[in-house]
Amino acid sequence: MNLKAKHVMISAITTGALVSVLAGCGTTTSTGSSNTTTGSGNAAASNSSSKSNSSSTSNETLVIYSAQGYDQAMADAFQKKTGIKVKLVDDSTGNIVAKMEAEKSNPHWDVAWFDGASTMQGLDNQGMLLTGWTPNDVSNYTSQGQSLIPSDKAYYPTGVTAAAAIGYNNKLVDAAHAPKDWSDLLNPYFKGAVGMNDPSISGPTFPYVAGMLQLKGTTAGEQFFMDLKNNGLKVFPTNGDTLNALVKGQIKVATIQDTALLKGKLKGDPITLVYPSSGTFSMATTISIDKNAPDMAAAKKFVEFVLSQQGQQVMLNPANGGSDSYYSPIIKGVSANPARVQSGINWVPVNPVQAAQNETQIKTWFHENITN
Amino acid sequence: MKLKLRRGSMKTSPTNRSRKLSRGWAYAVPSLLVLCVLVLYPLATLFVQTFLPHLFDVHMSLKPSIEPLIQSFSDKLNYESLVNSFVMGLFASIAATVVGTLTAFGSVRAPSRYQRVLDTLVWVVFFAPSYVIAEGWLQFLQDGGIASQLFGLPNGWAAWFFTKPGLVVLMGLRYFPFVHLAMTPAIKNMGGQFERAARSMGAGKGRVFWRITFPLLAPATLAGASIAFAEGFGDFGFASAIAPTVHIPLLTYQIYSALNQAPVNYAAAGSLSLVLVVVMGAVLWFQMWWLKRRSYTTVSSSTSWNESTRVVKVQWYTTVSFILAGVSVVIPVLSTIATSMWKTGADGIQGANWTLHAYAKVLQTGSDGLASLERSIVYSAVAAVVTMIIALYVSYQLSRRDTLGMRFVNVITMATIAVPGVVLAAGFIFAWNAVWLIPIHLVLYGTSLCLGMAYIAGSLPYAIRLDLGAISQLSPNLMTAAQVLGAKERVVMSRIVLPLIGGTIVSTFFIALTGTMFELPASSLLYPAGEPPFPVEIQQQFNAFNFNVGSAMATIGMLIVFIMYGVGRYVATRMRFVGGARVKKSHLVKQQELITGEETGSPQMAGE
């Protein structure tokens, strides 16, 4: 009896202690995480509190969710220039969007930055993004850049890459058979030797598939992928896997994002890069601001910094961004990395509104008919 | 050997019963509260979206809808993937059981120095992160990979491995440590007396195995097999690295794509996870039901054997064990290490392609890699200590009090073993970022505390099952006897339970430690902005095609865990020595020491 009474008491004390520990962690911003990393881990908590009483914005902290290789360098450069503290969450586009969607009733981010206008459009469709805002230097956009700005101004393009280009292993493909356009890949010479990524897994591959359906029309576009499949198309998860297969000789041709092919080529891999003559699907890297950004002013400053000459130079340095730095700039007076071929590319912009609308449908079709 | 008494079968008079049951809930409160905060509440926020899909929208709406459920179940790909996952999990579990049983016998009945090497090999497979093992196998088996470079094999030589049966074999080699760790202590505790008795009565070798050995080991086998199934059925890291290449749709992959691809569909992820948990719950319930039919206590107060376990002859199964464990460790780990030392992937094993450049890059002072490594070491250490303590508390309560409340706790810990990390992590966002927490300042999402909680939640169910397995092998008579002799509960705990299951407690520490060090889904979804932990950095390197740097980081991580394990084992051995000296006064415990025999410090894992 005595023993049991004592035990109930212990249980009660434990319970009380747990509750108070939890409560303590939520209210104070310095003690909660003292046993793990430094107190700065509570940026998000302080953000949400600054959001609930927006009068106190004494210590500006900008939270950026990004999938871009050069994001850390940009955060550092921006912090140095403005003195605004930047906290970065760098992850794949999939994880970034998953986080944003899960947070949407109580968002923690100020700026989101990743490849793929259709994905960004999907977030815009849910009313998550700041609309109607125009950055200072918007007139600095090239005409290609201007064409990529959506009518509600919910997001801005920061650069362009090819969602897919043709890269062939020049040790395995002789000059006579070098492909020049999409249709060349149906040649029996390439039987079982063409690879691409799975649009359900790889971010840039969805605009590639959607772009093909847009360029050739849905029926003919689907037929093209069916024909590729009949010619032994191999579908890998992401750029890295397909590139690996190309380099190892498992396939002779890869149709993947041009920046990945270019980086492999510059690393010394035997790759020749071709932009298909009938059309190369452009994929915009897009940046947006949270509709209820806790630090709206800082967020706007950051977007303007990205679109400035100074910001673009940071992004273009491969030491900062790896393969992402080989993008094609869309700001006047900014030139691409010299390794990149810029002339003679027949850009076909993919309509993000339409692509976002048909995303599930197209991915399901591809999965059921091509991947499987 | 007493086989009559069952856990929790202390005599209770009917009048006492209702009072006991109601108080049972009071006892269960601390355990329930911990599980609520860490597991139940986060999962509930995700599952509830199956029926309330707009609960976490920009504008919260409580409008119910079964649309997500209908959508999930009208998708034929979901059916296909459910069947695939079940079948693959089942066969992987069978493969793991065959390999694990073999290595367990191979280890226990081998000379002790062989034993140590074999157990260490098994532990390396156990704690090496799934995605590293998978990448390692890929690097080795793929066309133009290490094997074909070494032996000049043509493209397509390993095509068989990228089919369902091939994947089952690889998964079996991945998950067999669960069976091995569950069986080793059981085989040890069983001793040889029953087998010898049967043999002396004239039973043949085969008959002894099927009628004595096998039935006695059934609980451990089932426990290991069911965890192996849970892993195979619910694991994402391994399947995702290899399966997309072969295009076998799996349930975890469907969940992942619902979470991770635009358009994100949390309602679908919730309903598919619910299916996953129900299937797993059923399997584990079956295991429990099977075991409930009778007692399998092998460590009781009246057991006293002090037979010499010194073995000199190396059995055939020890040799086979070495080959299997060796293959499952050496190939993937060496492939990872090799990749980490290449300049370019294309040149592979050519002489001029070897360099330590990637390591220099990771270990550069002030590098992101190093900072994240430091963070993860702290996270791992804290999570391991907390998990170890909570698991011990909950499992002790579970074994001592058979009340409705505790049964509920028991079911929860079993069902949540099945929950994939990515589901739990997503649940943590909804749960700890919910709008109703804003007024009470409890928005923990985005803090390191939140990530730490998720790490603990991920390892806790395993740790509880492990502790419970070890505790339930102790006869209740031991504890009751001590209490009758006047020992307080605290004394029973510190003098009897702790020394007897010390090895298992150390194991729970390492499960949480290694689990945290390499945990990917929670790390990437929950880390505080600006402070990425180690697994996130590794993944970023792989995403950026820097296979050498990523592999170097993984190798460094494994090395650190391995060193910690070595230190831990050393400390455990020392502790046992000190403990042994202290309990010399107590006759009861001295007897127990004889029972557990040598190697208490070795990793143990046992189901009930």
Q: What ipTM is given for this predicted complex?
A: 0.75
pLDDT of residue B480: 79
Runs of H (alpha helix) within A186-253: 205-216, 218-230, 239-248
A13 band by pLDDT with thresholds 50, 70 and 90? very low
Span B311-337, mean pLDDT?
A: 81
CB atoms within 10 A of CB A6: 13
| pLDDT tens-digit readout, B74-95 | 777 788 888 888 898 899 999 9
Select the more confidently predicted residue: A20 or B133. B133
Residue A58 has pLDDT above 50, yes or no: no
User: To probe the interface with B, which of A10, A50, A72, A95 has the most B CB atoms within 10 Å?
Assistant: A95
Q: Let me know if B151 is exposed, middle or buried by CB neighbors in 10 A (0-12, 13-18, 19+).
A: exposed
CB contact under 8 A, B245 and A237: yes
Q: Are B51 and B64 in contact (CB under 8 A)?
A: yes
* Residue that the structure tokens 């039973």 belong to: B203
Q: How close, in Å, is residue A199 to chain B by CA atoms?
A: 9
| pLDDT tens-digit readout, B138-173 | 888 877 778 888 887 777 777 777 788 888 888 888
Residue B18 has pLDDT above 80, yes or no: no
Among A143-152, B147-156, B204-213, the range of highest mean pLDDT: A143-152
Span B507-531, mean pLDDT?
A: 87
pLDDT of residue B4: 40
Q: Which of chain B's residues have a Cβ under 8 Å away from the Cβ of A122?
A: 262-263
B590 band by pLDDT with thresholds 50, 70 and 90? very low
pLDDT of residue B236: 67
What whole-number distance in Å separates Cα of residue B137 and Cα of residue B143?
12
pLDDT of residue B420: 76
3-state SS class at A130 = coil
Span A109-117, mean pLDDT?
A: 94
Rg of chain B, C-alpha, whole Å: 25
Span B305-320, mean pLDDT?
A: 64
What whole-number distance in Å separates Cα of residue B298 and Cα of residue B604?
15
Select the more confidently predicted residue: B517 or B5. B517
Q: Which of A33, A52, A267 sits opposite B447 (nearest CB)?
A: A33
B56 band by pLDDT with thresholds 50, 70 and 90? confident
Select the more confidently predicted residue: A62 or B318. A62
A104 band by pLDDT with thresholds 50, 70 and 90? confident
Q: Which of A44, A86, A236 sits opposite B528 (nearest CB)?
A: A44
> A193: which DSSP letter?
-
Q: Which of chain B's residues have a Cβ under 8 Å away from the Cβ of A369?
A: none
What is the interface size between A and B, counted as CB pairs within 8 Å? Answer: 235
pLDDT of residue A301: 95
Q: Which of A87, A268, A363 sits opposite B344 (nearest CB)?
A: A268
Residue A92 has pLDDT above 80, yes or no: yes
User: B328 CB contacts (<8 Å, ≥6 apart)?
Assistant: B99, B125, B173, B174, B176
User: A203 CB contacts (<8 Å, ≥6 apart)?
Assistant: A67, A92, A93, A94, A114, A115, A116, A119
Cα pseudo-dihedral B586, B591, B597, B601, rounded to 10: -30
Residue B114 has pLDDT above 50, yes or no: yes
Q: Which of chain B's residues have a Cβ under 8 Å away from the Cβ of A198?
A: 244
Q: Are A142 and A342 in contact (CB under 8 A)?
A: no
Residue B275 has pLDDT above 70, yes or no: yes
Q: Which of A69, A79, A148 is nearest to A113 (CA)?
A: A69
Q: Is A307 left (phi over 0), alpha (psi -120 to 50) or beta?
A: alpha
Rg of chain A, C-alpha, whole Å: 24
Q: Which of A41, A201, A239 sits opposite B448 (nearest CB)?
A: A41
Span B23-43, mean pLDDT?
A: 83
Select the more confidently predicted residue: B562 or A88. A88
Do the strands A347-349 and A253-256 form a parallel or antiparallel pair, or are they unpaired? unpaired
Q: Which of chain B's residues have a Cβ under 8 Å away from the Cβ of A4?
A: 23
B345 band by pLDDT with thresholds 50, 70 and 90? low
Among A275-289, B33-47, B107-121, the range of highest mean pLDDT: A275-289
Span A209-226, mean pLDDT?
A: 95
Select the more confidently predicted residue: B15 or A14. B15
Span B446-455, mean pLDDT?
A: 94
Span A207-222, mean pLDDT?
A: 94
Q: How close, in Å, is residue A91 to chain B by CA atoms?
A: 7
pLDDT of residue B243: 63
pLDDT of residue B579: 44
Q: How close, in Å, is residue B251 to chain A by CA atoms?
A: 15
Q: Which of chain A's residues have a Cβ under 8 Å away from the Cβ of B536?
A: 90-91
Q: Which of chain A's residues have a Cβ under 8 Å away from the Cβ of B524?
A: 91, 95
CB contact under 8 A, B344 and A269: yes
- Answer whether 0.80 is exceeded by the pTM: no
Residue B387 has pLDDT above 90, yes or no: yes
Q: Which of B34, B378, B449 sits opposite A25 (nearest CB)?
A: B449
Among A194-203, A211-220, B283-292, the range of highest mean pLDDT: A211-220
Closest residue, chain A, to B245 (C-alpha): A236
Percent of chain B with pLDDT over 70: 82
Span B183-187, mean pLDDT?
A: 79
B297 band by pLDDT with thresholds 50, 70 and 90? low
Residue B593 has pLDDT above 70, yes or no: no
B576 band by pLDDT with thresholds 50, 70 and 90? low
Q: Which amino acid is at A178?
A: A
Q: How far is CA B395 from CA B301, B337, B391, B406, in A?
A: 21, 39, 6, 10
Span A167-173, mean pLDDT?
A: 94
Q: Are B329 and B336 in contact (CB under 8 A)?
A: no
User: B339 CB contacts (<8 Å, ≥6 apart)?
Assistant: B135, B139, B345, B547, B548, B551
Phi, psi of A111 (to 5 degrees): -130, 135
Q: Which of chain B's residues have a Cβ under 8 Å away from the Cβ of A119?
A: 262
Q: Which amino acid is at B57?
A: D
CB atoms within 10 A of CB B480: 14
For the residues of B564-575, what is the DSSP string, one character each? HHHHHHHHHHHH
Q: Which of chain A's residues have a Cβ under 8 Å away from the Cβ of B34?
A: 18
Q: Which of B389, B293, B341, B390 is nearest to B554 (CA)?
A: B341
| pLDDT tens-digit readout, B364-386 | 766 778 889 999 999 999 999 99
Q: What is the sign, positive or negative, of the torsion defined by CA atoms of B240, B243, B246, B250? A: negative
Phi, psi of A93 (to 5 degrees): -55, -40
Which token pair is B430? 């909804």
pLDDT of residue B310: 53
Q: Are A285 and A68 in contact (CB under 8 A)?
A: yes
Q: Which of chain A's residues have a Cβ under 8 Å away from the Cβ of B543?
A: 92, 238, 240
Tell me the pLDDT of chain A averaged across its residues.
84
Residue A51 has pLDDT above 70, yes or no: no
Q: Are B236 and B256 in contact (CB under 8 A)?
A: yes
Residue B131 has pLDDT above 80, yes or no: no
Span A155-166, mean pLDDT?
A: 95
What whole-number distance in Å separates Cα of residue B601 and Cα of residue B483?
27
What whole-number distance in Å separates Cα of residue B540 and Cα of residue B525?
13
pLDDT of residue A302: 96
Closest residue, chain B, to A240 (C-alpha): B545
Q: Are A298 and A84 in contact (CB under 8 A)?
A: yes
Span B333-346, mean pLDDT?
A: 79
pLDDT of residue B308: 44
Percent of chain A with pLDDT over 90: 59
Q: Are A109 and A281 in contact (CB under 8 A)?
A: no
pLDDT of residue B575: 61
CB contact under 8 A, A91 and B542: no
pLDDT of residue A138: 93
What whole-number distance in Å separates Cα of residue B228 and Cα of residue B92?
8
A230 band by pLDDT with thresholds 50, 70 and 90? very high
Domains, in order of start, for chain B: 76-298+316-352 (1.10.3720.10), 364-608 (1.10.3720.10)
Residue A31 has pLDDT above 70, yes or no: no
Residue A10 has pLDDT above 50, yes or no: no
Which token pair is A331? 């700001």
Residue B233 has pLDDT above 90, yes or no: no
CA B576 to chain centre: 25
Is residue B263 reached through a cis peptide bond, with omega within 30 degrees of 0 on the bond before it? Answer: yes
Among A35-39, A112-116, B356-360, B368-372, the range of highest mean pLDDT: A112-116
pLDDT of residue B234: 75
Span A105-122, mean pLDDT?
A: 92
Domains, in order of start, for chain A: 59-161+283-341 (3.40.190.10), 165-281+353-371 (3.40.190.10)
Select the more confidently predicted residue: B554 or B358. B554
For the residues of A136-186, what is the DSSP string, one character each? TTGGGB-HHHHHTS-TT--EEEEEEEES-EEEEETTTS-GGG---SGGGGG
Q: Are B603 and B503 in contact (CB under 8 A)?
A: yes
Q: Are A130 and A154 in contact (CB under 8 A)?
A: yes
Percent of chain B with pLDDT over 90: 10
pLDDT of residue B48: 87
Which token pair is A160? 């362009």
Residues in chain A: 372
Span B32-48, mean pLDDT?
A: 89
Which token pair is B317? 């199964």
Instruction: Tell me which of A18-27, A349-358, B172-181, B354-363 is least confident.
Output: A18-27
Q: Which of B220, B250, B257 is nearest to B235 (CA)?
A: B250
Instruction: Tell me which of A247-251, A300-304, B388-392 is least confident.
Output: A247-251
Span B559-580, mean pLDDT?
A: 71
What whole-number distance in Å separates Cα of residue A80 and Cα of residue A49?
26
A304 band by pLDDT with thresholds 50, 70 and 90? very high
Q: Which of B394, B458, B397, B393 is nearest to B425 (CA)?
A: B458
Select the more confidently predicted residue: B84 or B502. B84
Q: Are B158 and B354 in contact (CB under 8 A)?
A: no
Q: Which of A101, A248, A372 sits opposite B247 (nearest CB)?
A: A372
Q: Which residues pair with A328 in a beta bridge?
A: A160
Select the more confidently predicted residue: B587 or A79. A79
pLDDT of residue A71: 93
Residue A28 has pLDDT above 70, yes or no: no
Closest residue, chain B, to A51 (C-alpha): B438
* Residue that the structure tokens 């339409």 belong to: A354
Q: Which amino acid is at A143?
A: S
pLDDT of residue A100: 92
Closest residue, chain A, to B266 (C-alpha): A102
